[in-house]
Each structure stands twice: as C-alpha cells, then as structure tokens.
Amino acid sequence: MHILIIGAAGMIGRKLVARLVRDSELAGQQVTELTLSDVVDSPLPEGFTGKTTNVVTDLSYPSNAQRLVSSRPDIIFHLAAVVSGEAESDFEKGYRINLGGSGALFEAIRTEGQQQPYRPRVVFCSSIAVFGPPFAEPIHDDFITAPQTSYGTQKAMSELMLADYSRRGFFDGIGIRLPTICVRPGKPNAAASGFFSNILREPLVGQEAVLPVDESVRHWFASPRAAIGFLLHGASIDLQQLGTRRTLNMPGLSATVADEIEALRQVAGEKAVRLIRREPDERIIKIVDGWPYDFAPERALALGFVAEKSFSEIIQAHIDDELEGRLP
Amino acid sequence: MHILIIGAAGMIGRKLVARLVRDSELAGQQVTELTLSDVVDSPLPEGFTGKTTNVVTDLSYPSNAQRLVSSRPDIIFHLAAVVSGEAESDFEKGYRINLGGSGALFEAIRTEGQQQPYRPRVVFCSSIAVFGPPFAEPIHDDFITAPQTSYGTQKAMSELMLADYSRRGFFDGIGIRLPTICVRPGKPNAAASGFFSNILREPLVGQEAVLPVDESVRHWFASPRAAIGFLLHGASIDLQQLGTRRTLNMPGLSATVADEIEALRQVAGEKAVRLIRREPDERIIKIVDGWPYDFAPERALALGFVAEKSFSEIIQAHIDDELEGRLP
C-alpha cells in the first residue's frame, strides 16, 4: 500500500508518519511506500523498510498537485494548511493554500482517473473552526457550518468539494473535523488557542505558563494521539456508510480550564498548578468566546471513532508520548 | 444609483430588470444606471430614462469580472448560474461558472476596493439545492448545508465565500435561497422540477400537462413575483443585522401536488384539472425524493421577507403577471 501524506512536516503529519512506520500496516495491509510532501522538508522516518519519497512542493499549483498524484497512491492524507492566524492576516495566501490547495488536489485526482481508472481514499483534515456562534448546545451532526474566520471558511468549502467529488466517484473521501489538540507538544506559540496546552505542558516540566482567560471557559479537546487515531480510523472504515455527508465531527472532551487545572493538580500536584500565572487578555478572551465548546458527535461515535473521556487521560497521553512516560 | 445585474437574460433577471424599470427606484434612491450582463444579449428595457449598458461576457474569467466591476456599481445582483441539470452533466462547466464565476466576481470587487475604497452591496441568488436528506421537519435556519448535486455544492461554497468577504468588509453581501419558482413562465422544459409549474401553467390555457409523481409529493414554492420581491428586499434592508450568517432561507409555501391541483380546480374548474395526465416517471420520482419540502425561515420572516401563503395566490400571481389578469 502506497500512502501519500500532504502536510507531512507539521505536528500532526510527523506524528502520523511515525505511527504508520511503527505499525507498518494500515487497515490490514502492509505499508510498502510512503510519499511525504510539504512546503518544507519532511523528516524521513527511521526504521521503515519500504520506499520513501520526500517531495517539497506547493500543492496549490495544479501542476504540482498532478505530479504528486501521478504516482497513484492508494491513500492520501491531506493535512496541508495555512493556520488560522495566517489565513486571517494574509487573505490571499489563505485562499490560495487552504481552498486552492484542496481544489488542485481533488482536480488532480479526478483528471488522473480520466487517464486510467483511479479512485484513492482521501482523508481530509478539517476543523471545528467551520462553526460559529450562536451555537446549539451541544452541536449536533446536522448543525450549520457558519465560520467566523477565513480559515474556517476555506475548510468548510473544501469539505463541500470533498463530498461532491466523492459522490461523483472521483475518490472516496472523508473529512475529519479535529477538536482543539491538547496537549500540543513543542514550545508555547502565539496562537490564540495556545494557552489551553501551555498551562499543562509547561507546569508539567516545572515551567511557568500564562492563562489569559477565566477558568470557566469551556472548550472541545482531544489529544494528538486521539487525532492520529481519527485519521487512521478514517482511512480504514467503509466510507459507503457515510452516504453523501462525508465530513464528521470527531468525539472529544468538553471541559473547562478549571477541569484542566484540576487534572494537572491530580497528576503533578499543587506545585505545578502554582506555575500558572493569570494574565487576562481581552483580545484572546474575545476570540475564544467565538469558539465551539460542546458537541454530540453521534455519527462518529457510531462509526467507532474514540477520544479521551477526561483531562487526566489527555495529560497521561502527553506524559507517555512526549515525556517518555514520567514527569521530570 | 447604478445597478449591475449579472445573469440579466435569465427568467429571474428579466423580471428583475422589468421591475426596476417600472419602479425606477430602489431603497428610496433613483435608479440612474442599469448594467445588464449575461453570456447572451440581455433584453434592454423600454421606458427607462437612465443609462443602460449591455455587456455580453463570461463572468468566470477574472478579467471579465474586473471589467464589469470597474464601473463601480452601487448594487450588484449576482444571478448568473449554470442550472442544476447542466452542472450535473458538465462537471467542469458547473464549477467554472457557478463557483469560479462567484469567486471571480468577489475577487474583482475586493481588488477594485484596493485601488480606491469601494464596498457595493451584493445580492447573491442561491437555492434550496444546498440542502440534502435526511431533512429536519421543518428545516430551521441553522440546518446543515449538505447538497446532493454539484449545483447545490457550488451554491453552498459561494455562500460561504460571500459571508467571509462580507465579514472582511470587502462588500456588503446577502444570499437569498430561493424556493422552487412556481408558476414558472414559458414552455415546458426538461428540468426535473418542471412539472410543478407545467401542471398549472398548461391547463390554465387549455393545454395538457404530464404529472410524473404522486399527488402526495410535498415541495417548497414561491412565485416569480415573490422571488423578485426577495431580491429587492435583500437589496434594501440593513445587512448589519445579519451578523456573519449572510445567507437566508426565504419564506415560501410548503404544499403538495394535491394542493396545487385543488387550487387549480378552484381557479379554473374541473375541466382544467382533467388536462393533467398521470405518467409516473421513476427517474423524476427518485430525484424529487431528495428535495427539501418544508422550512421554518424565521430569520427571513423577522426581516420582512414575504411569500405567498396559498397556491391560489401563486396561481393568481401567474394570471396577473403572465396572462394579463384573466384566463383565456
């Protein structure tokens, strides 16, 4: 089985590649070839015995998309995107990459299939950013996509195209709307959502972190490990059962910042909790206020997608996967 | 006030132009200039004293869209589209015109505004084809857009872009999701929805018409007159009250074919009803089964959009507007 991962150098992409190398199979089939693509070099996995190809390319140019697809991978993970903040600050780039990139990929697959029958599976990484207030409580599977950002708009538009191309039989697509990923590994960053991870990740290793919102703020979470599980499960199940609604809200944990802090206390004690510094930030408070926080992802649950059920589990996944199983 | 109508040669476009010429004002302002654009010649209205320009152009080419917008119209009605059947049979053309056309127009407005401030109103004609089964009963304003056709997909994608460009302040946009227009004037055509109009329009003038579905079939209707009213009202009201959800389900009449026939009986007698010939058509039965049939368009009603409340009214509108007020 030949797997193409577009956006392989990002956080989710790297973890997905590592998992595929570790498992060396997907949906009961051996992974014999990995093509890793991104706008920068993708780390090439160690320990993989199959063929690997690293392609540095900008998907949004149709000829690049055609070249990627011409090797006819069996499964395509489409994770490539300009993040929310950049899509908001650079309007043209956001549309070019996040909408144009998806469009170029989908068209490349369709035209490749016109040469000779070809119908790969496409697993598209979408986001709960497709939703905007006022929200239903919880958000059901038939809730309107009304994004508040250009990023969410571009994801919602790509989802619609994914469904139509799948309905037409050009490929077999599934869209995965990821919850906010927590605990996000790496350094604190400027993303408005960064604090949800910062206030756990930093105190766990004895560092200070800033909390810019009230503890009552509620949000929708899943671990990086759960996110990789969603993508692999989406690559494995029979997609005919989705009908024409090809994008799913993923399961997750609806929890408050207070829930996060309480789980941190249980895992790492009061000492860790004291490393969280309250610094209310009106800009972030306002942004977060427009984010969805509770879902009833009935379709995904029925299809066997699984996420964490408590923040203790989310923290434990972080300790296992990023801290070699123990606190320093 | 300068008004640009894109798709001015179509059924809705011609009626809109006729109404603007008759009223000679919109939202309390005098209409001084009309630019009529379509891929074919648009009929130039008689009795209009302002400036009129007829532009035969294909909107989907960015340079054409730029040329149209460079005259900086105050209001742009975007009605141009390849119809549902053609978007389904010619995949590339559907995306090029229905998605690419909207995209080219919206981008032309944005880039025109970069030269010198420009923020026109854009009234975009969308469709209930953005919805697909299973339906809520009735369909509320926050119901998912899950189209079953490429046409519906292209309309839903354009709606998302319209909302994002409006949120960014590039123009002031509103999307109008028209119900099925009935009684559609003209000749019987091959559209799957044609029979809803045919079984009224033809018997009213003593002609036979074919009914391919059961009388229990329910659907969502408004007259051409109501549709023009929606577009003009959308061009007149304060759109700030829409927030970021810029497209509205329009009011309409949820009625069965039996309701249509009963109204025909009341208006034109049993003689007219006997001109309806039952010829079940499995293909049409199947298509119609995927169409939405009942809405609770609360937002549009609160904003003052108005449609007919009975099929007698719909038939009367047809007799008034197409048959000079009386049956032959």
Q: What is the pLDDT along chain A (328 residues), one digit of tens a residue?
A: 999 999 999 999 999 999 999 999 999 999 999 999 999 999 988 889 999 999 999 999 999 999 999 999 999 999 999 988 899 999 999 999 999 999 999 999 999 999 999 999 999 999 999 999 999 999 999 999 999 999 999 999 999 999 999 999 999 999 999 999 999 998 877 678 999 999 999 999 999 999 999 999 999 999 999 999 999 999 999 999 999 999 999 999 999 999 999 999 999 999 999 999 999 999 999 989 889 999 999 999 999 999 999 999 999 999 999 999 998 8
Tokens of A139: 């958000």
Cβ pair A153:B161 closer than 8 A:
yes
Share of chain B above pLDDT 70, in %: 100
> Distances in Å between the alpha carbon of A251 and those of A122, A124, A305, B42, B254?
20, 16, 7, 52, 36
A:260-279 residues touching chain B, CB 8 A cutoff: none
- Which pairing describes strands B218-222 and B253-256: parallel, antiparallel, or unpaired? antiparallel
Fold of A2-178+223-249: Rossmann fold (3.40.50)
Searching chain A, which residue's CA lies closest to the CA of residue B111?
A: A92
What part of B 158-187 touches A (C-beta under 8 Å)? Answer: 160-161, 163-164, 167-168
* Active-site residue, B151 included: yes
List CB contacts (< 8 A) between A141 and chain B.
144
Alpha carbons B302 and A317: distance in angstroms, whole number: 49
Question: Residue B142 above 80 pLDDT?
Answer: yes
pLDDT tens, position by position, B203-219: 999 999 999 999 999 99
Residues from chain B contacting residue A147 (CB–CB below 8 Å): 160, 163-164
Residue in chain B nearest A146 by alpha carbon = B245
The SS3 of residue B3 is strand
Average pLDDT over residues B260-285: 96
Q: What local confidence, expressed as pLDDT, does residue B23 receive? A: 95
Write out residues 53-112 of A within 8 Å (CB-CB) of B.
91
Residues B151-192: pLDDT tens digits? 999 999 999 999 999 999 999 999 999 999 999 998 877 678
What per-residue confidence (pLDDT) applies to B45?
A: 82
Residues in B 222-251 with any Cβ partner in A closer than 8 A: 244-245
Q: How confident is the model at residue B46, as a pLDDT?
A: 87
pLDDT at A328: 83
Question: How many CB atoms are located within 10 Å of the residue B147 CB?
Answer: 24
Subunit contact A144:B168, Cβ cutoff 8 A: no
Beta strands in A147-272 (DSSP E): 172-178, 180-181, 209-211, 218-222, 247-249, 253-256
d(CA A277, CA A260): 14
Peptide bond into B134 cis (omega under 30): yes
According to the model, what pLDDT value does residue B191 have? Answer: 78
Domain B2-178+224-249 matching CATH 3.40.50.720: the answer reads yes
What band does B247 get if pLDDT is binned at 50, 70 and 90?
very high
Chain A residue numbers touching B142 (CB-CB < 8 A):
136, 143-144, 146
Query: What is the structure's pLDDT at B101?
Result: 97
**Mean pLDDT score, B265-292:** 95
A142 touches chain B (CB under 8 A): yes
Q: Under an 8 A CB cutoff, do A150 and B168 touch? A: yes
- Interface mutation vs chain A, best among B144, B162, B289, B298, most A CBs within 10 Å: B144
Q: Which candidate from A141, A146, A161 shows the least CB-CB separation from B153?
A: A161
pLDDT 10s digits, B23-48: 999 999 999 999 999 999 999 888 89
Confidence (pTM): 0.97
Q: B328 pLDDT band (50/70/90 cuts)?
A: confident
Which residue out of B89, B130, B141, B153 would a mutagenesis test of the A interface target, given it has the greatest number of A Cβ atoms within 10 Å? B153
Structural domain boundaries of chain A?
2-178+223-249
